[in-house]
Amino acid sequence: MKKLIFFLLVLIQFQLVAAAEVNIYSARKEALIKPLLDQFTTETGIAVNIVTGKADTLLKRLEVEGRNTPADLLLTVDVARLIRAKEKGLFQQIDSDLLNKVIPENYRDDDKQWFGLSLRSRVIIYAPDRVNESDLDSYIDLADKKWANRICVRSSSNVYNQSLVAAMIANYGLEKAERWATGLVNNFARSPKGGDRDQIKAVAAGVCDVALINNYYLAGMLESSQKNEVAAANKIKLFWPNQDGRGAHMNVSGAGILKPAKHKKEAIQLLEFLVSDYAQQWYADTNHEYSINSAIESSSILKSWGKFKADKLNLGLLGKHNTDAVLLMDRVGWK
Amino acid sequence: MLATRAAQALPNAQAFKSSLFKFTKWNTALVFLSLLFSIPLAVVFGSLFFPEYEVWEHLRATVLTDYIANSLALLVGVGFFSLLFGVIPAWMVTMYRFPLSRQLEWALLLPMSMPAYIIAYSYTGALDVAGPFQTMLREFTGWQYRDYWFPEIRSLGGAIAMLSLVLYPYIYLLARAAFIEQSVCVLEVSRTLGCNTVNAFRRVALPLARPAIMVGLSLVLMETLADYGTVQYFGVSAFTTGIFRTWFGLGNSLAAAQLSALLLIFVAVFLYLEKRSRKQARYHHTSNRYSSLMQQKLSKGHGLIALTICAAPMVFGFIIPVSLLINWALDTYSEVLGKDFYLLLFHSLLLAFVTSLLALAIALFMAYSNRNNKSLLNRIMVRFVSMGYAIPGTVIAVGVLIPFAWFDNSLDTLLMENLNISSGLLISGTVFTLVFAYLVRFLAVSINTVEAALVKIKPVMDEVAKTTGMRAGTIVKRIHMPMMRGSLLTALLLVFVDVLKELPATLILRPFNFNTLAVRTYELANEELLADAAVPALAIVMAGIIPVIIISNSISHSRPGHE
Q: Which helix (H) or strand (E) element contains residue A333? A: none
Instruction: Please indicate, yes or no, if residue B563 is contained in any of the structural domains.
Output: no
pLDDT at position A17, please?
47
- Chain A CB contacts of B244 under 8 Å are 157
pLDDT band, residue A18 (cuts 50/70/90): low
Q: What does the DSSP assignment read for B322-337?
A: HHHHHHHHHHHHHHH-
User: Would you call A326 and B406 a contact, using CB atoms and an 8 Å cutoff?
Assistant: no
Average pLDDT, chain B: 83
Q: Report how far residue A323's alpha carbon sits from residue A313's, in angstroms, rounded to the nearest whole number.
A: 18
Residue B395 structural domain: 2-19+29-556
Closest among A286, A289, A290 to A31, alpha carbons compared: A286
pLDDT digits (tens, 9 = 90+) for A231-261: 999 999 999 999 998 999 999 999 999 999 9
pLDDT digits (tens, 9 = 90+) for A81-92: 999 999 999 999
Instruction: Please indicate, yes or no, if residue B561 is contained in any of the structural domains.
Output: no
Per-state percent for chain B, helix, strand, coil, to nearest 5: 80, 0, 20
- Chain B CB contacts of A56 under 8 Å are 247-248, 251, 253
Instruction: Please indicate, yes or no, if residue B63 is contained in any of the structural domains.
Output: yes
| Contact A106/B at CB under 8 A | no
| Contact A260/B at CB under 8 A | no
Question: How many other CB atoms are there within 10 angstroms of residue A101's CB atom?
Answer: 9
What CATH number does the domain containing B94 carry?
A: 1.10.3720.10
Q: Which helix (H) or strand (E) element contains residue B455? A: none
Q: Report how far residue A15's alpha carbon sits from residue A159's, in angstroms, rounded to the nearest whole number.
A: 36
Question: A290 forms bridges with which residues in the sheet?
Answer: A119
Q: How far is CA B147 from CA A189, A206, B141, in A?
A: 15, 11, 10
Name every residue whose Cβ is closer than 8 Å to that of residue B74 and which is 6 or more positions away in sequence: B156, B159, B160, B163, B224, B225, B231, B236, B238
Instruction: Please indicate, yes or no, if residue B236 is contained in any of the structural domains.
Output: yes
Instruction: Please indicate, yes or no, if residue B271 is contained in any of the structural domains.
Output: yes
Range with the poorest average pLDDT among A145-154, B64-73, B473-482:
B473-482
- How big is the A-B interface in CB pairs under 8 Å? 161
pTM: 0.85
- Chain B CB contacts of A53 under 8 Å are 507-508
Q: Report how far residue B69's alpha carbon sits from residue B432's, in angstroms, rounded to the nearest whole number.
A: 38
Residue ranges and CATH numbers for the domains of chain A are 19-119+252-298 (3.40.190.10), 120-249+310-332 (3.40.190.10)
Instruction: Please indicate, yes or no, if residue B24 is contained in any of the structural domains.
Output: no
- Interface probe for A, chosen from B153, B246, B334, B529 (most Cβ of A below 10 Å), is B529
Give the whole-number percent of chain B exceeding pLDDT 90: 26
Q: Chain A closest CA to B193's CA: distance in Å?
A: 56
pLDDT at position B291, please?
54
Task: Identify residue A111 by its one-letter amino acid code.
Answer: D
State yes or no: pLDDT of B309 exceeds 90.
Answer: yes
Q: Report how far residue B109's alpha carbon sits from residue B556's, in angstroms, rounded to the nearest whole number.
A: 13
For the segment A110-120, the average pLDDT, to the nearest whole number, is 94
Alpha helices in chain A (DSSP H): 2-16, 34-44, 55-65, 79-87, 97-102, 159-172, 174-186, 196-205, 215-222, 227-234, 264-274, 277-287, 300-304, 316-320, 322-332
pLDDT at position A5, please?
62
Report ipTM for this prediction: 0.82
Instruction: Please indicate, yes or no, if residue B562 is contained in any of the structural domains.
Output: no
- For residue B145, give the nearest of A162, A205, A225 by CB distance: A205
Interstrand relation of A114-126 and A249-257 (parallel, antiparallel or unpaired): antiparallel
- In A306-335, the residues whose Cβ lies within 8 Å of chain B are 322-323, 326-327, 330-331, 335
For the segment A324-329, the average pLDDT, to the nearest whole number, is 93
- For residue B513, give the nearest of A50, A196, A335 by CB distance: A50
* DSSP label at residue A151: E
Question: A48 forms bridges with which residues in the sheet?
Answer: A22
Q: Chain A closest CA to B129's CA: distance in Å?
A: 7
Instruction: Please indicate, yes or no, if residue B541 is contained in any of the structural domains.
Output: yes
pLDDT at position B14, please?
44
| Contact A242/B at CB under 8 A | no
Among chain B residues, CA nearest to A53: B507
Q: Chain B closest CA to A42's CA: distance in Å?
A: 17
Domain count, chain B: 1
State yes or no: pLDDT of A334 exceeds 80.
Answer: yes
Range with the poorest average pLDDT among A108-117, B111-120, B336-345:
B336-345
Q: What does the DSSP assignment read for B244-303?
A: HIIIIIT--HHHHHHHHHHHHHHHHHHHHHHHHHTSS-------S------PEEPPHHHH
Among chain B residues, CA nearest to A221: B529
Q: Report how far residue B214's alpha carbon sits from residue B274's, in angstroms, rounded to the nearest whole number.
A: 8
| Contact A130/B at CB under 8 A | no
Query: A184 or B280: whose pLDDT is higher?
Result: A184
State yes or no: pLDDT of B285 exceeds 60.
Answer: no
pLDDT digits (tens, 9 = 90+) for B377-410: 777 888 888 888 878 888 888 889 889 999 998 9
| Contact A32/B at CB under 8 A | yes
Q: Which helix (H) or strand (E) element contains residue A254? A: strand A249-257
User: Would you call B528 and A195 a contact, using CB atoms and an 8 Å cutoff?
Assistant: yes
Question: A107 forms bridges with which residues in the sheet?
Answer: none
State yes or no: pLDDT of B23 exceeds 70.
Answer: no
- For residue A232, give the nearest of B130, B248, B409 by CB distance: B130
| Contact A141/B at CB under 8 A | no
Q: Report how far residue A75's alpha carbon sits from residue A13's, in angstroms, rounded to the nearest whole number.
A: 29
